[in-house]
């Protein structure tokens, strides 16, 4: 029988984000956090060469997650 009380371990992408790890600690769905982390990584790949984004990302470790949360890609 599967143990439904244990939490799945987050990926390295989620672990790299203080914001997502805080959400994980508060019990947010791990699948949603993984989706957000992958989305933020895609934005980082596309926009990190733009100086305006690169400067902000250098100051804020959760910049790409915040940008993803703003739904810039919608």
pLDDT (tens, 9 = 90+) of the chain, 74 residues, equals: 455 555 789 999 999 999 999 999 999 999 999 999 999 999 999 999 999 999 999 999 899 999 998 876 55
Locate 2 and state its tokens.
């599967």
3 in a structural domain: no
74 in a structural domain: no
51 in a structural domain: yes
Q: What's the pTM value of the predicted model, to 2 decimals?
A: 0.79
36 in a structural domain: yes
52 in a structural domain: yes
Query: How many domains does the chain divide into?
Result: 1
2 in a structural domain: no
Q: How many CB atoms lie within 10 A of CB 66?
A: 15
> What gap in Å lies between CA 43 and CA 57, rounded to an integer?
11
Give residue 23's domain range.
12-69
Q: Which residue has the tokens 């672990």?
A: 15
């Amino acid at each position: 029988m599967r143990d439904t009380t244990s939490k799945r371990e987050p990926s390295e992408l989620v672990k790299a984000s203080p914001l997502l790890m805080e959400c994980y600690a508060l019990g947010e769905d791990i699948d949603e956090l993984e989706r957000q982390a992958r989305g933020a990584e895609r934005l980082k790949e596309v926009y990190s060469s733009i100086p305006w984004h690169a400067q902000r990302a250098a100051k804020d470790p959760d910049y790409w997650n915040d940008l993803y949360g703003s739904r810039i890609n919608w």
